Copies of this chain bind each other. A is one copy, B any other.
Amino acid sequence: MSALDQFLRWLDLAGIAVFAASGALVASRKRMDAVGFVVVAAVTGLGGGTLRDLLLGRTPVLWLRAPEPLAVCAAAALLVFFTAHLVESRFRALLWADAVGLALFAVTGAELALISGADPWAAALLGVVSACFGGIVRDVICDEVPLILRREIYLTAAGAGAAAFVLLRVAGGAGRGAAVAAGVAVAFGIRGAALLRGWSLPPY
- A interface residues (Cβ-Cβ under 8 A, vs B): 27-28, 31-37, 39, 50, 54-57, 59-61, 63-65, 67, 70, 81, 84, 113, 116, 118-119, 121-122, 125-126, 136, 140-141, 146, 148-149, 151, 153, 155-156, 200-204
Q: Check A70–B32 contact: CB distance below 8 A.
A: no
A81–B148 CA distance with the chains assembled, in angstroms: 19
Once A32-B203, A36-B149 are accepted as A-B contacts, the answer to whether A56 and B59 lie under 8 Å apart by CB is yes
Q: Check A33–B155 contact: CB distance below 8 A.
A: no
Q: Check A35–B149 contact: CB distance below 8 A.
A: no
Q: Check B33–A200 contact: CB distance below 8 A.
A: yes
Count of identical protomers in the assembly? 3
A129–B73 CA distance with the chains assembled, in angstroms: 16
* A to B CB contacts below 8 Å, 12 in the list: A27-B204, A31-B203, A32-B149, A33-B200, A33-B203, A55-B61, A64-B113, A64-B119, A64-B122, A64-B125, A70-B121, A140-B141
Kindly list chain B residues whose C-beta atoms are within 8 Å of the C-beta of A32.
149, 203-204
Q: Check A156–B67 contact: CB distance below 8 A.
A: no
Q: Check B64–A59 contact: CB distance below 8 A.
A: no
Once A67-B121, A122-B63 are accepted as A-B contacts, the answer to whether A149 and B155 lie under 8 Å apart by CB is no
Kindly list chain B residues whose C-beta atoms are within 8 Å of the C-beta of A125.
63-64, 70
Please give me the residue from chain B that is nearest to A27 by CB atom.
B204
